[in-house]
Amino acid sequence: MSRLSRRQALALTIGAPLMVRLMPASATPGAMQAAIASWSKGAAIEPGLVTLTLPLLVASGNAVPLKVTVDSPMTPEDHVAEIAIFNERNPLPDVIRFHFTPASGRAQAETRIRLSDTQKVHAIARLSDGTFRSAAVNVVVTAPACVEN
């Protein structure tokens, strides 16, 4: 077994953090689809009923306003149980989940999220009957978040 020289050890000490810094982890559309399939347990997801509101162009991805609404009567027989937000390019594709009951009155949530790059953001609602509905928005990010500078 060979031993590391001082130069090799120094190169590893300095070079490894730089490599991590230069190559930030990010999800891929495939990783996002896998996260969606895991969450929905492979059920079919139909477009519609969900309104996802994000700015189409953001100067900074550090705090992007997001609003999601699902058209639902919110009765015990017919209501939204959960809304999940997914993205294609952040380090983790599963961004946030909102839980609802008929007592919520309406299926609506607002927050701010970080976006690491230009990407498509998806909102998927799980309804009380076990079906899934969705919407997606393409967001152009000029100054990414989730990346060390």
Residue 113's domain is classified under what CATH number? Answer: 2.60.40.2470
CB 90 within 8 A of CB 108: no
96 in a structural domain: yes
Nearby residues of 36 by Cβ (< 8 Å), 6 or more positions away: 45, 84, 86, 93, 122, 124
Residue 144: which region, alpha, beta or left (left: phi > 0; alpha: psi -120 to 50)?
Answer: beta
- pLDDT for 25 equals 58
Beta bridge partners of 99: 82
Q: Report the 10 Å Cβ neighbour count for 7.
A: 8
120 in a structural domain: yes
Strand order in the sheet with 64-70: 50-53, 64-70, 107-113
Q: 44: domain range?
A: 25-141
2 in a structural domain: no
11 in a structural domain: no
Tell me the per-residue pLDDT of 112-135, one tens digit each, with 9 for 90 and over: 999 999 999 999 999 999 999 999
* pLDDT-based confidence at residue 143 (cuts at 50, 70, 90): confident
- Quote the CA–CA distance of 84 and 32 in Å, as a whole number: 12
- pLDDT for 21 equals 45
Q: Is 80 exceeded by the pLDDT of residue 39?
A: yes
14 in a structural domain: no
Number of domains in the chain: 1
Tell me the per-residue pLDDT of 68-90, one tens digit each, with 9 for 90 and over: 999 999 999 999 999 999 999 99
5 in a structural domain: no
15 in a structural domain: no
Task: Kindly list the distances between the CA atom of residue 148 and the CA atoms of 21, 57, 74, 118, 136, in Å, as whole numbers in the listed order.
Answer: 7, 21, 42, 17, 27
Tell me the per-residue pLDDT of 96-109, one tens digit each, with 9 for 90 and over: 999 999 999 999 99
Candidates 135, 129, 131; CA nearest to 53 is: 135
